[in-house]
Amino acid sequence: MGMNLTQKLIASHLLEGDMHTPGSDVALRIDQTLTQDATGTMAYLEFEAMGVERVRTELSVAYIDHNTLQTGFENADDHRFIQSCAKKRGLLFSRPGNGICHQVHLERFGKPGKTLIGSDSHTPTGGGIGMLAMGAGGLDVAVAMGGGAYHIAMPKVTLVRLAGRLRPWVSAKDVILAVLRRLTVKGGVGRVIEYGGAGVDTLSVPERATITNMGAELGATTSVFPSDAVTQAFLSAQARAADWVPLAADADATYDQIIEIDLAALEPLAAAPHMPDAIHSVASLGGVKVDQVCIGSCTNSSLQDMLKVAAILKGRTAHPSVSLSIAPGSKQVLTMLAENGALADLIAAGARILESACGPCIGMGQSPNSGAVSLRTFNRNFEGRSGTADAKVYLVSPETAAASALTGVFTDPRTLGAAPAVTLPERYLVNDNMIAPPASPAEAAAVEILYGPNIKPFPKSEPLPAQLAAQAVLKVGDDITTDHIMPAGAKILPYRSNIPYLSRFCFAQCDPDFAQHCRDAGKGVIIGGANYGQGSSREHAALVPLYLGIKAVVTKSFARIHAANLVNAGILPLTFADAADYEKIETGDSLAIENIRAAMQTAAPVTLKNSTKGESYALEYSLSERQRAILLAGGLLDYTRGGG
Ligand code: MIC
Ligand code: SF4
């Protein structure tokens, strides 16, 4: 029987495990890694703690793109720390200003057929070029940099079969929004979303990357496109023809689920506040007043996107009541826009041009006015993420964003007349002068790692005790994101290297006194609903709770990366056997799990006792043998060092 593309990529990197049993633990060889600065400092602190001299991957790149607003010494110190680690440990260093990690990686380093893990949940952008590219916690990336395997639960594979061709003014963003409407933010959990069908040929690599990027919002392990003539043309245009290999599913490949999408039947769509799967047609929102438009982010900042926006804005002016910001995704994109004059069109139209970085997407500036309607070409519209608590953020295509920026109201771009014709360059402008190479192995010994006063060691965990007794310190509902657990934004991100300080903001949106409650309780358990921990890969959403004494999180279900991060931090991710038991626990209840250590040693059932209510609840867990060993050791770092 033939194999699908996902199976081929996994088979060619399989080190251990049974790839024929979905859900079982498989260990994969990782060819490439990437980090960004907001998760990178922890990843390099962890890498340093592992005592490995030099990275053992084919390629590892450290990017600076998130914390580029430097309102104090903290972010600049983090950049310098990461730069010194990269130089000493054999990584390429993408300097601030060079662009957003996923955009630059796609342009300059991604290779079809390779595996990539990155300490950022949008690493699946690389699936647009035929990579098996996955988001992971910083510690998992550190282990992979040291040559260790990356473990995942063997995914099921969903085929999204594309037919037809997008109509004018309809965009790749509308494709992924249509998939989100169909599958929801939980629909991809435990799955790889593989794209196939004749419609694939009609999509460029940057368009495919928009789709795989936002597959993260489905909760999917990753998303992937075949590597074909379109991929070959993109790589040649990036002066990387030798990196191309053809890759596709076998004709008789089978899938766990098949979804059909006719590209020609799609219309402009928008994700309404505050979830990426709250999909409406743009036409149905027509007329809603718009206060802000932001164009950019790793989802929609390619040259193709920017050229479309420039063509729409050319010769016109942003509506007086709209603040329009544009952040081209990379130095390559920005330079090419400058050289062909499109940048002048953007500036002339009144766009506020931002540096090539994440910027407003992660609340680093451009927070909208109170109660604003903000249209963004980004991938996440979680409540408060923009930095303005009551802002209403809609996720839209670059076409819809640009059209609405001109009119000041939600505008279906199809009402603008003929769509601009944008052709992709035969040659991109290639200049890697902002990628600093590492020191040679001979020179590396003399390179000093430069810390700063804000860079604090990560919190200590301890081996799993025989029994667990703790208080239910917080109870939350469904779809809690890592932005709820550990918010980002300009005020907080500078402290990503300082867990003690960061702990003040943990769960601030759900319970402003959360940190104090944890300190009062000593040891805590968090009770959560379904899809707990969706969104970012930030391991801070596990490390900060660890620091605050959280021993277990008991939910209806977990998002993949966050569950792995909890295990890596030595926190138990457990689920209710009967979801109805969730209702029975209240904040403040005294909870206990007897014999937890023995249970993890033998994979035995676990019961949660609630002495406040005089009740007991059966719990479940889907933990591999290796994950149980990590929990027994008190976390991945201690496990890697041989503790336990
Ligand atoms: C995000 O989009 O939420 C981030 C910021 O890129 C995160 C990483 C982080 O929290 O640093 C992600 O998606 O993993
Ligand atoms: Fe950066 Fe936003 Fe992409 Fe995250 S989603 S990597 S913050 S641009």
Cα(328)–Cα(344) distance, integer angstroms:
13
Q: What are the strands of the beta sheet with 150-153, ordered from one edge?
A: 14-16, 25-28, 150-153
Mean pLDDT along residues 120-143? 98
pLDDT of residue 642: 74
Which of 362, 385, 393, 496, when mutated, tests ligand 1's pocket best, judged by the most ligand atoms within 8 Å of its CB? 362
Among 451, 498, 440, 213, smallest CA distance to 329 is for: 213
Ligand 1 centroid to 379 CA: how many Å? 11
Q: Is pLDDT above 50 for 644?
A: no
Alpha helices in 205-281 (DSSP H): 205-213, 229-237
Contact 201, 236 (CB under 8 A): no
Mean pLDDT of 129-152: 98
What are the catalytic residues? 65-66, 120, 380, 536, 538
Residue 123 has pLDDT above 70, yes or no: yes
Please write the tens of the pLDDT for every residue from 345-354. Answer: 999 999 999 9
Pairing of strands 606-610, 590-593: antiparallel
Which residue(s) pair with 326 in the sheet?
295, 353
Provide the pLDDT for residue 73: 97
Q: What is the DSSP annotation of 89-132?
A: HT-EEE-TTSB-HHHHHHHHT--TT-EEEESSTTGGGGGGGT-E
Distance CA 137, CA 147 (A): 16
Q: What's the angle, vertex CA 510, arms to CA 467 and CA 631, rounded to 5?
A: 30
Packed helices 37-50 and 540-547: angle between N→C axes, nearest 10 degrees? 60
Q: What distance in angstroms lies between residue 39's CA and the mean position of ligand 1's atoms?
A: 8
Q: Ligand 2: which residue has its CA nearest to atom 1?
A: 358
pLDDT of residue 459: 87
Question: Given pLDDT bands bounded at 50, 70 and 90, which one contains residue 483?
Answer: very high
Q: What count of other Cβ atoms lies within 10 Å of the Cβ of residue 406?
A: 21
Report pLDDT for 274.
97
Dump pLDDT digits (tens) for 375-412: 999 999 999 999 999 999 999 999 999 999 999 999 99
Residue 516 has pLDDT above 70, yes or no: yes
pLDDT of residue 318 exceeding 50, the answer is yes
Query: Can you give the pLDDT at residue 643?
Result: 53
Averaged pLDDT for residues 501-520 = 97
Ligand 1, atom 12, lies closest to the CA of 536
Q: pLDDT, tens digit, for every residue of 61-95?
A: 999 999 999 999 999 999 999 999 999 999 999 99
Distance 593 CA to ligand 1 centre (A): 33
User: Could you tell me if 496 and 42 are in contact, meaning their C-beta atoms sit under 8 angstroms apart?
Assistant: yes
DSSP H or E stretch at residue 628: helix 625-633
Mutating to test ligand 1, I would choose from 35, 37, 39 the residue with most ligand atoms within 8 A of its C-beta, which is: 39
Fill in the DSSP letter of residue 71.
S
For each of the domains in the chain, give its residue range(s) and CATH number, in order of start.
Answer: 5-265 (3.30.499.10), 269-413 (3.30.499.10), 468-641 (3.20.19.10)
Cα-to-centroid distance, 304 and ligand 2 (Å) = 18
Largest CA distance in the chain: 72
Separation between Cα atoms, residue 604 and residue 19, nearest integer Å: 25
CA distance 464 to 357: 40
Can you read off the two tokens belonging to residue 134? 């996955």
What ligand has the least distance to the C-alpha of 362?
2
pLDDT tier for residue 1 given thresholds of 50, 70 and 90: confident
Tokens of 80: 């310098």
The CA 586 to ligand 2 mean position distance, Å, reads: 35
User: In this predicted structure, what is the pLDDT of residue 641?
Assistant: 81
Q: In this structure, are strands 59-63 and 92-94 parallel, antiparallel, or unpaired?
A: parallel
Model pLDDT for residues 566-620, shown as the tens digit of each residue: 999 999 999 999 999 999 999 999 999 999 999 999 999 999 999 999 999 999 9
Side-by-side strand order, sheet with 323-326: 279-281, 269-271, 392-395, 373-376, 292-295, 323-326, 352-353
Per cent of the chain over pLDDT 90 is 98
Query: Using a 6 Å cutoff on CB, does residue 120 contact ligand 1?
Result: yes
- Mean pLDDT, the chain, rounded, equals 97
In this prediction the pTM is: 0.98
Cβ–Cβ under 8 Å, residues 98 and 203: no
Q: Please, which residues have CB within 8 angstroms of residue 149's CB and are 6 or more apart in sequence?
A: 15, 16, 27, 28, 29, 30, 143
Ligand nearest to the CA of 38: 1
Arithmetic mean of pLDDT, 410-425: 95
The string of pLDDT tens digits covering residues 6-53 is 999 999 999 999 999 999 999 999 999 999 999 999 999 999 999 999
Residues 180-202, mean pLDDT to the nearest whole number: 98
Where does ligand 2 bind, in terms of residues with CB under 6 Å?
Answer: 66, 100, 120, 122, 297-298, 358, 361-362, 378-379
d(CA 621, CA 564): 12
Q: Exposed, middle or buried by CB within 10 Å (0-12, 13-18, 19+), for 254?
A: middle
**What confidence tens digit (pLDDT) does each residue in 445-470 have?**
999 999 999 999 888 889 999 999 99
Task: Give the residue-averaged pLDDT of 248-276.
Answer: 98
Cα(449)–Cα(82) distance, integer angstroms: 8
